[in-house]
Each structure stands twice: as structure tokens, then as C-alpha cells.
Amino acid sequence: MRTARDLDSVTPRPSCVTFGVFDGLHVGHQALLQRTVGLARAHGLRSVALTFDPIPEVVLRGAKVPLLTTNAEKSALIRQAGIDLLVIARFDRDFAAMTALRFVKEVLIGRLGARIVVAGPRTTFGHRAAGDLNLLKRVGPRLGIQVEAVHVVLRDKGQVSSTAVRALLAQGRIGAVNRALGRPYTLTGRVVRGTGRGCALGFPTANLKVHPDKMLPPDGVYAAAALIGGERLPAAVNIGTNPTFAAGRASRRTIEAHVLAPCGDLLGRTITIELLRRLRSEQAFPSAEALRQQIARDCARALSLFARTCGDEAYITKAVRPEPADEAKATSERGRRGARAGHCACESSD
């Protein structure tokens, strides 16, 4: 897939085009992309996806909108869909002032060479969102373009949209989010150094620094899968401010992953975390020992959920989950092994 960072760098060529913000690349977006690729191949056309940066809400409302997918994540997902050309157009006040008809004539046809346009029933474009699927169907024939409508996939009796997915994520409803996306919600970041408190507790953690605009779920503990060096490993993830050790002081929000399998030195590496389920909210414990015991229970639940979700029951044996009576000794030994391996990169899950 080729990526163009502005419209002026695109050479017009007969194409099948779809367009939108595509934040989250949920199942509705995926349906648009799949239809675009299929029609392009059937008609010998180039498949094109046009998206915008920043997303229109930022320019039109002046508000910061948390992203379900960064540009890098969005590009990777669109590439996986089989699109030939991704165009990331700069969205500014001038672009927003473009009339709907001018957008069709100058951008879709004039610049991208659209012969077929694929759109959903909620598609809007042009100044004050005056353009929609009905307008495309009305002007398409006289402008020489075929318009294909793809109805957004419905899940849980609701209409899939990026706004709806953000609302679900804000509530910590990870299962519903993952169903709407058709895949687990991910957090990707570089592992940075922390205080090492997790090692002291027997649970070395990788502290992730993610894109500042990436939307995070509510503070709490999550069962997860860690994608490291081509492997998918079970993990327990804490998102929050470590209230047990904050002692009433303001603390920065962190993302800390305890990988429940050998993974080597992670410091400085970029890893991806797939969120599978929210286990509990973050809370302050009366002592470090009480926290350590709860972390052990969280890890056992996370490992079990990983096995059920990923269909790898054998992994429980491979990961050697300890019996309850031996858990304290085993988790402490895991921490020492992790420290020796050099992957104790940050603070404990709280």
C-alpha cells in the first residue's frame, strides 16, 4: 500500500474510493474497505481510502478528541484490508469550507480519479456536512461515477460508530468495545523505566509510554495479551495512579503490564497490549502485602481469561500457574527471575 500525505501528491487514476475519519476502524469501516477492495479488483481499478488529519471535530469544535486509533495504527489496519492507496488529507478551515459538490468534483473525481464511490448511510461531507449518501446517489450518474452503499454492521442492537465505541471504552466495557471493533482494543508504546516497585513486590512490570492522544479506558486492572517479538503472551495490566503508594499526593497516570511468561528485557522496546477484559477498578490497599496478594489473584484471573479467550488452555501448564498455597513463594521467585532478566522496567500494578 502506498500512503500519500496530501492530495496534491496523488496522481489521478481510475479508482474505487471510500472516505471517512475511520477512527477505530470498527466493523462498519471494515465493511466499507472490504467492499472498496472487492469492487476495485472486479473492475480493474485502484482502491483508495481517503482520511483526514486532524479529525474534523478538532478543527470544527476546537476540542481535543481522544483517538481510538493513532495515524500509525489506522494506516496499518487499512493496509491489512488490502487498500492500494491511503490518502491522509490535511483537514483545516479551508477544507471544511469546501461545498459538498465541490468535494465530489475536485477531490473524489478530479484528484483521486473516482469511478466508483463506496459510502455508508451515515456518510457526510462538505461545508456544514451538507453532503450525504443521497446527494452522492443524486449527482453520481451525471458526473460519471457509480455509488455503492454499504450499510454499517449492527452489533448489540445498536449502530456502530466511533462515537459509540468511545462511549463504551469510557465505561470500561472492553468486551463490547472489542465486538464493535472486531478485534481487541490495543495500546502500543515504548517501555520506559519506572521506580522498580513492581520487582520488589514480585511482579516486574513494563511501563508503557503511549501516544498522548490515544484514548485510555478507566483506571483499573485488565486481563490482556502482550504482543512481543511475534509472540502473544498473557498479561495483567494496571492503568492508573498507584494510590497505595501515592499517600494523598497527585500522581501521574501510568500503564503497567506484568507479562505472565518469560519475555526478556523489555526496556526501550515497543510492545502492544491487547485488552481482553476489565477485572476490577483501581484501589488503595492498607499495605504493600495486601496489594501483593491482590495482584497475585489478579494475575491468576488474567491468565485464566487469556487461556479461554485465546483458546490456548495448554498455556496454563506452560506458564506454570502456582497453586494457591505456593503462590506467594512462586510470585516472589518470578520477580527475582524478572529482575535478573532485566525486564523490570517500571512500577507495580496497583
Per-residue pLDDT of 95-125, as tens digits, reads 999 999 999 999 999 999 999 999 998 899 9
pLDDT at 183: 95
Measured CA angle at 177 (ends 85, 80), to 5 deg? 20
Residue 335 reports pLDDT greater than 50: no
- Beta-bridge partner residues of 240: 254
CATH label, 2-159, candidates 3.10.20.30, 3.40.50.620, 3.30.9.10, 3.10.450.40: 3.40.50.620
Is residue 315 over pLDDT 60? no
Q: Return the domain boundaries, the chain.
A: 2-159, 185-341
**pLDDT at residue 279 in the model:** 97
Fold: same for 2-159 and 185-341: no
Closest C-alpha among 296, 255, 254 to residue 275? 255
Strands 154-155 and 146-149: unpaired
State pLDDT tens for residues 9-42: 999 999 999 999 999 999 999 999 999 999 999 9
Task: Report the pLDDT value the prediction gives residue 63, as an integer from 0 to 100.
Answer: 82
pLDDT at 45: 98
With CA atoms as reference, report the closest residue to 152 among 117, 122, 129, 178.
122
Span 243-281, pLDDT tens digits: 777 665 556 889 999 999 988 889 999 999 999 999 999
Mean pLDDT of the chain: 86
Segment 234-243, tens digit of pLDDT = 999 999 988 7
Cα–Cα distance for residue pair 86/79, rounded to 1 Å: 8
Of all helices (H) and strands (E), which one includes residue 280?
Answer: strand 270-281
Tell me if residue 311 falls in helix, strand or coil.
Answer: coil
Q: Does the global pTM surpass 0.75?
A: yes
| pLDDT of 156 | 57
Q: What is the structure's pLDDT at 257?
A: 95
- Measured CA distances, 32 to 26, 35, 38, 112, 283 (Å): 10, 5, 10, 17, 42
Closest CA to 104 of 148, 156, 145: 145
Structure confidence at residue 320 (pLDDT) = 33
Model pLDDT, residue 339: 34
| CA angle (244 as vertex; 242, 247 as ends), nearest 5 | 100
CA distance 34 to 31: 5
Please, is 149 exposed, middle or buried when counting C-beta atoms within 10 Å of its C-beta (0-12, 13-18, 19+)? middle
Helix or strand holding residue 315 (H, E): helix 314-319
Q: Are strands 131-132 and 114-119 parallel, antiparallel or unpaired?
A: unpaired
| C-beta separation of 72 from 94 below 8 A | no
Secondary-structure class of domain 185-341 per CATH = mainly beta
Least confident of 87-91, 220-224, 311-315: 311-315
Q: In terms of Cα–Cα distance, which of 78, 140, 82 is closest to 109?
A: 140
Q: Are 138 and 145 in contact (CB under 8 A)?
A: no
- pLDDT of 55 over the 70 cut: yes
Q: For the ranges 90-94, 115-119, 155-159, 290-294, which has the lowest average pLDDT?
A: 155-159
Q: Which residues pair with 49 in a beta bridge?
A: 18, 86
Give the pLDDT score at 200: 64
